[in-house]
Amino acid sequence: MKNIQLDYTYILDFVKEKDILKMQSKVSEVHKVIEDRTGIGNDFLGWLDLPSRVTMSEMDKINKVADEIRKNSDILVVIGIGGSYLGAKSVIDALSHSFHNNLLHKTPQIYFAGQNMSAKYYEDLKEVLMNKRVSVNVISKSGTTTEPALGLRYLRDLMSQNISKEQVRQRIIATTDKAKGSLKTMADKEGYTQFVIPDDIGGRYSVLTPVGLLPIATAGIHIGELLQGARDMEKLLKNPDLKSNPAYMYATIRNLMYANGKAIEILTNFDPSLHYISEWWKQLYGESEGKENKSIYPASVDYSTDLHSMGQWVQQGTRNIYETFLWVEKSRGNALVPSLEEDMDGFNFLAGKSFDYVNRKAYEGVTLAHHDGNVPNMTVTLPELNAYYLGQLIYFFEKACAMSGYLLRVNPFDQPGVEAYKTNMFALLGKKGYEEKSRELNAILAKTERKVV
């Protein structure tokens, strides 16, 4: 069985291999800190051996509930934000039909809510749900987050207008903390089916817990294969040797890139179905490392689409970037370029070739062009886009993130910065307990002289 691989050939004109390998002792030291769980944030390392810890009975429970949802629902609405939705959304998008929600399938359509507070979004969603059999999976580790709480209120209210209280109860599944939070209180009181998010796994590392696994299984994706991929990667990455550990090699290169003034990493893909993998990755690295006024800014683009927009910037803009390509080796589609009788557009030289063949040449061409444009780049190659290799990829990025965060000397498992907006929002909304902050902010707003043109 092949594994995902990291190709760093086009990095080596910018950082010397010997300088990468000089990092080995530091990497081995951090590896020990991770494995022995002695570093900062070590109470959030539950994801480390999660793939090999998940039991058959946990999987059975998830698959059983997913089967029930599939049988009795036209639509599953997944309510959650940040780590409580990005993992599921990324895996489902990567492995489902590109137009899944527009087609009649054996699996329900899947929509997301609780990840924004747009009135239009909710009104539009209401229209989509009209006269449909709807189930809801509400996911919140803290059980107190505003966006999913409001999303659940809206969905409950909507469902109550069409079905009985008992039916609403049966159609809501809560994934939350085992003991605390208002979602837990509500789930207990209402008698919702429940799944527990382990205490020692933070949101952005939680895709392989019921947070991700229930929606993913409902979409008809084999969660056993996803976990098997993660499990095999877990084993492979136990060896700290940079020459055989692609996650540590990736983390080390990030560290050296940053030290060389490359403050932005751009993750790119060549398949629209991978767009949300980048969103998940951005959260993982952005929230794990972006603190203490340092760290790489994780950005993403979708190629070849964005080669016609941001491609210009990447080729010739400020040289403070490096790129990581996500490339899938095996083609998933058979669409071929047709021949045209008079070759009016001049593309007959591609007739009979698959779109993926052309895409591959775009990928090869862009790695060379960007390297020539002084953009160091590396490629993470997936042999195939399936549940098994996505499981490998998820674990690869998680382990690399822990290494990368520790090399940067930050706690990769907390997110103190996300509280600032919440405090201000609650104060401005007039939430109880925020009276003093409310007065302070309203006074600032009242006396701020706006400069507007």
Q: Which residues are known catalytic residues?
A: 287, 308, 422
Between the alpha carbon of residue 47 and those of residues 35, 52, 136, 240, 325, the distances in Å are 12, 10, 25, 18, 25
* Closer to ligand PA5 by Cβ: residue 39 or 82: 82
* Closer to ligand PA5 by Cβ: residue 96 or 145: 145
Which residue has 């539950």 as its token pair?
46
* Closer to ligand PA5 by Cβ: residue 107 or 137: 137
* Closer to ligand PA5 by Cβ: residue 150 or 263: 150
> Closest Cα to residue 178, out of 142, 151, 202?
142
d(CA 191, CA 111): 24
Measured from each CB, the residue nearest to ligand PA5 is: 203
The CB-of-83 to ligand PA5 minimum distance in angstroms stands at 3
44-77: string of b/e by CB count within 10 Å (b at 16+)? bbbbbebbeebeeeebeebbebbebbbeebebbb
409-445: string of b/e by CB count within 10 Å (b at 16+)? ebbbbebeeeeeeeeeebbeeeeeebeeebeebeeee
* Closer to ligand PA5 by Cβ: residue 87 or 391: 87
The CB-of-275 to ligand PA5 minimum distance in angstroms stands at 18
Which residue has 């059975």 as its token pair?
60
Given a contact cutoff of 8 angstroms between Cβ atoms, the answer to whether 380 and 249 are in contact is no
The CB-of-42 to ligand PA5 minimum distance in angstroms stands at 16
First to last CA, the chain: 61
The CB-of-213 to ligand PA5 minimum distance in angstroms stands at 15
Summarize as ranges the residues that interact with ligand PA5 (CB under 6 A). 81-84, 140-142, 145, 148, 202-204, 287, 415
H or E element in which residue 322 lies? strand 321-328
SS3 378: strand
Radius of gyration (C-alpha) of the chain in whole angstroms: 23
* Closer to ligand PA5 by Cβ: residue 141 or 231: 141
Residues in Cβ contact with 390 at an 8 Å cutoff, skipping those fewer than 6 apart: 91, 94, 95, 226, 229, 277, 382
The CB-of-202 to ligand PA5 minimum distance in angstroms stands at 5
> Closest Cα to residue 30, out of 237, 269, 281?
237
Count CB-CB contacts under 10 A for residue 218: 27
The CB-of-262 to ligand PA5 minimum distance in angstroms stands at 25
Give me 355's structure tokens: 């779109």
Given a contact cutoff of 8 angstroms between Cβ atoms, the answer to whether 395 and 229 are in contact is yes
Given a contact cutoff of 8 angstroms between Cβ atoms, the answer to whether 234 and 49 are in contact is yes
The CB-of-187 to ligand PA5 minimum distance in angstroms stands at 14
* Closer to ligand PA5 by Cβ: residue 34 or 201: 201
